[in-house]
Structure 1
């Protein structure tokens, strides 16, 4: 049985892509205290392929999941009996990795007699700025990562409305594929950002897809193709590579800023509420994108919130936070979500995803 207390201590586990992570978080009267935060990356395993290989990722998770959890518990300085629940990413993501983390979490929950909380990875990103405790509901959210790119209205825990989404590649995916075709290595996003700092953002006139179309849907596949064509026109000197990266990044910033402007103009936080604009997901660590979106928020009298750089990319602290907030809200009783299954796709706004899908069925387009 869960202890009746204002404080909740949750073990979180994340394994949806190429990070194996575990964290122990305490939530007390709305205040977050992170007792431990362990993240193992798989950069060396995937670098030869310039991208994440699902089977390699799943095997790597299986090899170190138990050790990662053990390290997080040691760092927190508590035993499993001190936990109030165990939360693990149960989707969306690479199904092999999701299964490893979820089954690890279920086993610990069963052995310790604690509730299990199946967490939507996207909800973890959506709540990640709240790890600092200074980002209250409601807010406008732009979730940008390797597999996801969407605007969402966040009214409260579990209250998510999709406003717009990419209809093909996500922003992070476009960065990684651009890096791969330019031979910049893996991970691609940081490599493109690093080279862009020394390049001319106006050297190439790349397209800004869907900028003149109403609504908040986005597209980045054509931009990536434009970079590929420009790269093939002449030898890739260091200067040309920097210019390509800078021009590509500038186009992404323009698209996101333009769509954000439209979203901020339409978003109503409610009477007496401040205008909060949240940027979350791995791409939120890109400083040029942060700067562009911060300017848009300020133009509307609002404020941009983003998690610390460590918690922009995949991590278990955000998963533990979702678990803690759901338990605090009374949504988890008994054994919790022990019967939940792994989901390779799991939209935050399932109603919108069903009625108005952002992409056709099949192995293409955005993951959410």
Structure 2
């Protein structure tokens, strides 16, 4: 796919997002150098460096950009790709001032949608990066639009791209299962999922709910299921492996994700790939994938019993439509093509 192999410096907090990104570009990058804040194992990365991205430690404001600048100088990459439009990007942009290499920043969602509203300092930090980075990626158009509104005086170079879904040959017969796998904290409103399911279950006794993942509210949610009288049909498996997660999508008919705020959730795309009917929050990013009453349900009122609205869609071709949507624009190969194409374009403009 790549016109030529290139050397890339990836900067971001260690974790699944960085792991997924490196997997997308590893075939096309001649060499991948990583700067992160924790232990990270990957045979695709030639060199790894650790720094602190914290804003609270005042010495980081001097030491972190200085260390990143030194790494840029000694590794001499063709391009820099930074993940998270927060302190990570702020330190990276400052470190790149003298080197003036093409620098891409990938926004993760809350860094653009929530942080700038928390304080003027965080808003100024985001605007500093927006005014100085070469290009940006976001996983939803409305995230890109929000970035542009923050700096109306500059036309941003924004590419819409997510990490994509890995295609599999997994085939499991669908069952009367509702699946939820978002984190158990306030943002994701899992308690409302339990309440809605308890109402749904009163008329649909052959259904069960799987509530994967964990979080600060796990114990409370388990007690809530007992209080609602649905603990016999609600399963709390905790964090599940990728393989088990895929099996849960494959056997579930309905997928529920109703956070207060979100960009494009990879879990939504995965659920659609496995032909689930998604029941999701009324958020701009979800409207880019789900059309209410056509291939899923947009929840207008969180206190309603919203799960049963998915039942009529089970009798049509909504599931196969969802899979086709993902095959067309949401797979790993599609993601790889977009990311690598962006890198090659920016490198060619050096």
TM-score of the superposed pair, with normalisation by structure 1: 0.33
* Higher RCO structure (Cα 8 Å, ≥6 apart): 1
TM-score of the superposed pair, with normalisation by structure 2: 0.34
Rg comparison, structure with higher value? 2
